[in-house]
Chains A and B, each alone.
Chain A
Amino acid sequence: MSGYPFYFLVTLGSVIGLAVLALVPFYVLLIAGDILMTRLGDVDPFSRSAKFIGLMFKNLRRNLLRTFLAYLAIFVLVLVVTGVWSILAFLDLVTAEKSRDLKAIVTERWQIPSQMPFAYAYPLSQGAPEKEGDIVIGPDDSMTWQFYGGYTERERDKQTRDNLVFFFAMEPRKVLTMMDGIDELTPEQLRQLAQAVEIMEKDKTAVVIGADRLATLNKRVGETITVYGLNYRGIDLEMKIIGELPKGRWGQIGIMNRDYLNDAIDAYPAKHRGERHPLADRSLNLVWLRVPDTETFKKVANQIMSSSAFTNPAVKCETAASGIGSWLDAYRDLIWGMRWLLSPAILVVMSLVVANAIGISVRERRGEMAILKVLGYQPRQIMLLILGEAVLIGALSGLLSATLCQVFVNELIGGVPFGIAFFPSFKIASAAWWWGLSIGSITALLGSIWPAWTAQRVRVAEVFAKVG
């Protein structure tokens, strides 16, 4: 638990640090925009609009402190919205039902974590066909999951998170047909993975480990390691690292041949005065089945749920999306609040920040608005000037905020170490720069409508009656 305040402080520090750092590119952009508009001011088709936009850039530099403060506020708020929306978009993505190629997950019905007898593995993999006409799932479309985790250090007091590794124990070839994310690999990565699978099928002690985890363990491909069981206490396995999984999604996991684990469970009594391992009858964690459509899914789910073979313990069959969906149900209020309370509230606050900054600036410049009117500028042109200034701040800070946040989180620290469902870390959506740009511009536009309206209503005669 002590981790959370720490993460919070680190996050807060990073956000503020990022915002202050980003003042530099913001200021550079303000100047660059001005220079660009001055140059374009000599090029005929754009020349008059360029000069007008140039005036907006210049006005933003009139009171730098105020512009910077508005910019910082928008920066931080856009950052928060980007984060929140990324989480929401991500959840939408993982809970969205695909109507084709559904993944059905079979787990123990009443208990989390799910622990089923390994005897369930074979019938479940086929979808539990019992009578003529039942659907039979093919070998390429199923996969059994068993989890084996342990330390590479024998001594209890040396066992830390850094020498801990988790393996998915499965039939090696299923990696190539069933794993999520297989389609994200390059042809070269795929070829290497296929090679590794071949070795793992022949030699059950062969394993592959994610590149990130290997680095943390400080091990290399080719080394042999002994893993001291964490969940399977007393089952220690000697393994040959024959390959590494690419960084990213699979970067932290290991994959091993399920026969190695199951043989070790079977051999356990011989070394322990005939006593079976406590997990011996509970070693199957889940079974994945791939079905082509919702219709098939319903039939298979029905076959499994109504079978008398799986009663003690009972099992359930649901789609991956609904599985994650039910896990998320616990957080439903929180998610609802983020979507419908927090995000709108932040947008409103952003508009108010802009309204305030632009409002002050307009009040200070009533005289200049009046002069523009005297020279012949139309009310709508004066409105445009004010709206333009606001949108410039909004767009620049929104864009910088979302883009820097994306680069920082995704590229520099490789995702926020906060796992959701089966995903090891959370990343900012790739559309974030676009969100930032539009959120920043639109809220700034909304916030500046009222100040712009008052600016264009300045009555020339009154301003000069006062001044003169």
Chain B
Amino acid sequence: MANEPIVRCIQVSKSFRRGSEEIRVLQALNLEVPEGQFLALMGPSGSGKTTLLNLIAGLDRPTSGTIQVGPDVVSAMSENELARWRTRHVGFVFQFYHLLSVLTAYENVELPLLLLPLSAARRREQVLTALELVGLLDRMHHRPGQLSGGQQQRVGIARAIVTNPTLIVADEPTGDLDARSAEEILNLLGELQASLNKTIIMVTHDPRAAARAQRILHLEKGQLVEDSGLAVAAGGAAAP
């Protein structure tokens, strides 16, 4: 049960057109992530980490291949279906937090819930739970401008988990933070995995951040390569 893959990429390719030139970013890539795993994606700049993350999270569609998250075939969905699916199943954490500056911490966390048919009371309960989890109940009426980078990122994490998604994706979540704040964020992500059994895919450049994950994959020339030192935890690694 715990090792059942929740994310499955089969022969996924993605290329972009820039004028007449075709940039092949991902080439026949295979990946399986078991439920409850904390996975780190590393690789040089421009290697396609963000591209892969966006495909798994349903922000973009592959040029060819199949992507499955739980029972859903994400790569076959229309744009509107993807939007609805993302609300329920994916929580996003960004490098630059991307909170809405006119909304308070509370209102930012509430934003994805407004798309779900919940009562006002139930919504409030979920927002407060998420804020409590990231330890920001006392700051819930502050706007992003009144919070430190680390605090803003915690609001970002609360927003990502408030819908209780299947999957959390984080693109360099500590890239813009000082060492101490980064440490706090990594602790928080680790805790989400450990105590709530959340599946987390995190892109990072920082080896120390990657070391907090259970498994590290490197993206090189459009393919995934298992980190030699750590390729233990997951049985269903990439490829044959």
Contact = CB atoms under 8 A, between A and B. Distances in A.
Interface stretch (A7-15, A56-64, A163-171, A426-434): A56-64
A374 B103 contact: no
Nearest to A467: B96
A460 B98 contact: no
B68 interface: no
Contacts of B86: 374-376
A372 B107 CA distance: 13
A43 interface: yes
A375 B120 contact: no
Given A44-B120, A367-B98, A374 B59 contact: yes
Interface stretch (A47-55, A139-147, A174-182): A47-55
A373 B54 CA distance: 13
Given A47-B120, A461-B60, A464-B50, A375 B102 contact: no
Contacts of B103: 55, 58
Contacts of A374: 59, 86, 92
Interface in B70-94: 79-80, 83-88, 92, 94
A41 interface: yes
Give the interface SS of chain B, mostly helix, strand, loop or mixed. helix
Contacts of A52: 114
Contact of B83 (A41, A44, A59, A378): A378
A62 B111 CA distance: 18
A34 to B, nearest CB: 10
Interface string B116-138: 00011001100000000000000
A460 B115 contact: no
A55 B103 CA distance: 8
A464 B100 contact: no
Nearest to B111: A375
Most interface-central of B87, B98, B112, B119 (chain A CB within 10 A): B98
Given A41-B120, A42-B120, A44-B120, A62 B87 contact: no
A346 to B, nearest CB: 32
A47 B124 CA distance: 11
A464 B203 CA distance: 14
B101 A373 contact: no
Nearest to B115: A376
B83 to A, nearest CB: 5
Interface in A344-381: 367-368, 371-379
Interface of B: 50-51, 54, 59-60, 79-80, 83-88, 92, 94-96, 98, 100-103, 107, 110-112, 114-115, 119-120, 123-124, 159, 171-172
8 closest A-B pairs by beta carbon, nearest first, are: A376-B87, A58-B102, A47-B120, A375-B112, A376-B86, A461-B60, A371-B98, A376-B83
27 contacts: A42-B124, A44-B119, A44-B120, A47-B123, A48-B114, A61-B102, A62-B102, A368-B101, A371-B98, A371-B100, A373-B83, A374-B59, A374-B92, A375-B92, A375-B115, A376-B83, A376-B88, A376-B112, A376-B115, A377-B115, A378-B80, A460-B59, A461-B51, A461-B54, A464-B59, A467-B96, A468-B95
